[in-house]
Amino acid sequence: MRSLHSALLAAQKSPTAKPYVRVEVVEKIGAAGRFNWSRLYTGEEPDCHNDATMPGDGSLVRIRGGGGIYRQRTPDPGPGSDFSQWYYWGYSGSDVAICSQGAEVLAFWIQSSGWLRRR
């Protein structure tokens, strides 16, 4: 059995106590922040494996497979940004991953031959 805090016990015994429920809504699940996603771009790119990261400069760096490896860097992502410019890296592959720490960005993909590449 749980015991009540002393302030709650005192309030419970008070002749003028009025019970109420306090509801607090926070954008967290446990200790982790919860994101409110919004669509900024709907493009013509094919559905394929993709990944994104945000390095320390605040830019958005994306990578996608599907007929080759493509990358994109958007310096200031937001509602008015151009998300349509993709740069072809010239490699064949499909499964992709990207990560960053500070200003360093690492991109990984599996080539059609089965080798893991990094750039």
28-80 residue pLDDT tens: 777 777 777 788 888 888 888 889 999 999 999 999 987 788 999 999 998 88
pLDDT reported for residue 46: 80
Task: Tell me the domain boundaries of the chain.
Answer: 6-118
Res 14 pLDDT > 90: no
Distance between CA atoms of residues 76 and 58, nearest Å:
7
pLDDT reported for residue 17: 64
Contact 69, 89 (CB under 8 A): yes
